[in-house]
Structure 1
Amino acid sequence: MRADARKNYDHLLTVARDVVSEHGAEASMRDIARRADVGLATLFRHFPTREAIFEALLRENLDALTQKAVELETSNPPDDALVSWFREGVAFVQSYSGVVALMASAHATPDSALYASCAAVHSAGERLLLRAQAEGTARVDMNGDDLFALMSALGWLGDQPSFAPRADHLFHVIASAILTVGKSNDVKKARR
């Protein structure tokens, strides 16, 4: 990419991040172009679809979440690694209003621009879950799909004003349900 094209791309992404932070997944492409002081055609040249702009916005965070799983896998006990990663995942899906629906849809759609990043996050979480299950610290009747669904559900709840004040409590309830009985008490103690 030429230097001027890269500069335009980065500028559009910065503006898009601001607009999406304000308006969530319903952010208008027209609003992004207007705020970036470019024509809609210029925006579409860089990002041909709404999903493409979200993929660009989210890829860095999703890749970081995948990398975090690798780091935790090698440096923390299985149950701690799983809960720490799960907390970061929930925080991420709450970072942009409405992103949960995009990720949930992309997770099952190989043609989606977000599919590869979502699949990598899903696999990373599943590895952490399997490791905790093998250690006997996570319930064995769960799989990676369940973990991804619970992360998405907590993200959605965080988007709801009536549940937002209870987000931390709800996280602990779900984390306690993921871990086996003895370990779920540790989650409760850590909360106090």
Structure 2
Amino acid sequence: MSVSNPGGAVRQDASRNRAAILAAAREILSGFDDLKLSMVAQRAGIGQATLYRHFPTQDALLAAVYEAEIGELVIAADQLVREKPPLEALRSWFARLAEYVRVKRGILKVVETFVWEDMSASTMGKLGSALGTLLSAGASLEEFRHDIDPRDVILLSWFMSHVTAEEWDARVPRLLDVLVAGLQTKPGE
């Protein structure tokens, strides 16, 4: 005879709701739209009370979206290095970084300065570690320059925060190609 676990069902529902909220917020922010909590709840298919149980403030939601994005970037670096050649891994990671920047721009539009400082305090280390993995993989095969460190690449990638929504799709891929060429020992391969 099996015993039901009502608490387990509640936890699964809560986990599903949280994931839906984060996905909805990310989608809204990726579209360069203003983030309204009522719109997030509607897009996630939940009630506003459920949203507020998970994220009592807009800043709490934005911080969670931001942390999830950084976590995905860090995990992606290791995964991509295992699955792809270094240059292809770096290009794939940069595509993900561009999506992260899209979300980050939306976050920057609405988050309070002191909250942003807290959220970004650990970002450089996490992104630096992920980039270090990617750059080391290419440098060990003599595909990437040895004189580049992760912070160089992070600073160069900040150009994306200045690209407007209207020019994003045309400009960002081209600029990322320029960045990748600058990292290669033999650009254009």
**TM-score normalised by length of structure 2:** 0.65
Match of 1:171 in 2: 176
Tell me how far apart the structure 1 counterparts of residues 78 and 59 of structure 2 sit (CA, whole Å): 27
Q: Do structure 1's residue 38 and structure 2's residue 48 form an aligned pair? A: yes
Cα shift at 1:86: 2.3
Does the 8 Å CA contact 2:94/2:176 hold for their aligned counterparts? no
Unaligned runs of 5+ in 1: 187-192
Q: What is the aligned length?
A: 174
Does the 8 Å CA contact 1:81/1:128 hold for their aligned counterparts? yes
Cα shift at 1:48: 4.0
1:131 counterpart (137, 148, 153): 137
SS in structure 2 of the partner of residue 130 of structure 1 = helix
SS in structure 1 of the partner of residue 48 of structure 2 = coil
Does the 8 Å CA contact 1:63/1:117 hold for their aligned counterparts? no
Cα shift at 1:68: 2.3
Counterpart amino acid of residue 63 in structure 1: G
Does the 8 Å CA contact 1:90/1:152 hold for their aligned counterparts? no
Cα shift at 1:162: 3.6
Match of 1:185 in 2: 188
Identity rate, percent: 23
Tell me how far apart the structure 2 counterparts of residues 100 and 38 of structure 1 sit (CA, whole Å): 20
SS in structure 2 of the partner of residue 138 of structure 1 = coil
| Structure 1 residues 142 and 32: CA distance shift in structure 2, 3 A | same
Tell me how far apart the structure 2 counterparts of residues 68 and 27 of structure 1 sit (CA, whole Å): 26
* RMSD (Å) for aligned C-alpha atoms: 3.8
Does the 8 Å CA contact 1:154/1:171 hold for their aligned counterparts? no
SS in structure 2 of the partner of residue 185 of structure 1 = coil
Match of 1:190 in 2: none
Q: Do structure 1's residue 151 and structure 2's residue 157 form an aligned pair? A: yes
Cα shift at 1:15: 4.6
Match of 1:85 in 2: 93
Cα shift at 1:176: 0.7
**TM-score normalised by length of structure 1:** 0.64
1:65 counterpart (73, 82, 93): 73
Unaligned runs of 5+ in 2: 1-6
Tell me how far apart the structure 2 counterparts of residues 99 and 134 of structure 1 sit (CA, whole Å): 37
Counterpart amino acid of residue 16 in structure 1: A
